[in-house]
A and B are shown apart, each in its own frame.
Chain A
Amino acid sequence: MDTRDHPISDGKPVTEPELIRRSKGGSREAFGQLVARYQVPVYRVVRGVLGSPSESEDVAQEVFLKAYANLAKFRGESGFFTWLYRIAVNEALRARKRRAFANADALPEVEAPPPAPPEEDAPTLATLEKLLRKLSDEFRSIVVLRDIEGLSYSDIAETLEIPIGTVESRLFRARQELRTLWRESKEAKNAL
């Protein structure tokens, strides 16, 4: 993790480890700086794993609250962002399970109307979001961390707490499955 400087109210630049140290000391302002830095990637991870734009902000908020409450447990053995991403993935999966559990008793979920066909034969973001939802939790998480967030294999291994070899093989299988779904989606579109 890099230690780029962050401005803080007293005008002096502060490194990320210093921000973490101040946050541990109870500085809400320091933690606010960390939130400002990571709110977009955390939101993206949550949205990719959860697959629900409407709930993603609430879950992202929960991620930061959980991180703030458990900051004392962060000992700096792993990178701060991999620790934060781990919380994000776990919270998104938990929210997804909660929703699935709630939907089991509710009316069947109404499928959103299919988006208008694009001008060219290019896949849309809506298609990607729909297909990601069809992947298993393990595959979806790893695709989001690698292909959307661009994490290295070692960072993914640290985030998901799995060996690097498992990252490589799981990512390969996840991409294969996503590509199969992609092809099926395109062929179905072409058949219309």
Chain B
Amino acid sequence: MHCDDAARAIHAVETSPDLDVHLSACDECRLLSDDLAQMNRAFALARTEWVPSPAFRVNLPLAPWRRLAIAASLLVLPLAGWAVASILGSRPDYDVAAVLEPAVVTVEPTDRQLLGALFLEETR
């Protein structure tokens, strides 16, 4: 096996008896193999240690329709308040009872009065 072929096999993390024979005889390729093995250990460390902090959060923006609903509610509440205030503020400042006709008091006739009226009616 030539050094170029060995290097390609080492980079591709391939194993073969030919490669083993070559590595046992070639210092340069053995050094390459050792270096790549160490690099692979560092890559494995990166896989486990490169993690975001527990406080990591993705704050998504609100959906457009939700933003519209919030804006509408923010607009509606002051408008409703203003409408109520304007109705209360525009009421006339006079006594309504004063312009109404006095109420007619109706008193229910007693039994004695009813009987009296019937008696008068019959004797007439």
Contacts and interface: CB of A to CB of B under 8 A. Distances in A.
Secondary structure of the A contact surface, majority rule: helix
B24 interface: no
Interface stretch (B60-68, B92-100, B103-111, B113-121): B60-68
B58 A179 contact: no
A32 interface: yes
Nearest to B64: A26
A181 to B, nearest CB: 10
Given A39-B52, A123-B38, A48 B46 contact: yes
Contacts of B60: 28, 31-32, 64-65, 68
Given A148-B43, A179-B36, A182-B35, A57 B61 contact: no
Contacts of B52: 39-40, 43, 56-57, 60
A19 interface: no
A11 B95 CA distance: 65
Contacts of A6: none
B38 A122 contact: yes
Interface in B1-43: 8, 11, 31-32, 35-36, 38-43
Interface in B45-97: 45-47, 49-53, 56, 58-61, 63, 65
Contacts of A47: 50
Contacts of A44: 46-47, 50-51
A124 interface: yes
Interface string A8-48: 00000000000000000010100110010001100110011
Nearest to B40: A147
Contacts of A178: 39
A28 B59 CA distance: 10
Contacts of A175: 11, 36
A127 B61 CA distance: 38
A35 B53 CA distance: 14
A134 interface: no
Given A48-B50, A57-B52, A125-B46, A39 B58 contact: yes
Nearest to A56: B52
Contact of A26 (B49, B51, B65): B65
Nearest to A61: B58
Nearest to B8: A172
Contacts of B39: 123, 128, 147, 178-179, 182
Nearest to B44: A148
Given A26-B65, A123-B39, A182-B35, 17 more contacts: A43-B52, A47-B50, A48-B50, A56-B52, A65-B61, A68-B61, A69-B61, A124-B42, A128-B45, A128-B46, A147-B39, A148-B47, A172-B8, A179-B39, A182-B38, A182-B39, A186-B35
13 contacts: A39-B58, A43-B52, A47-B50, A56-B52, A57-B53, A64-B60, A122-B38, A128-B46, A147-B43, A148-B50, A175-B36, A179-B35, A182-B38
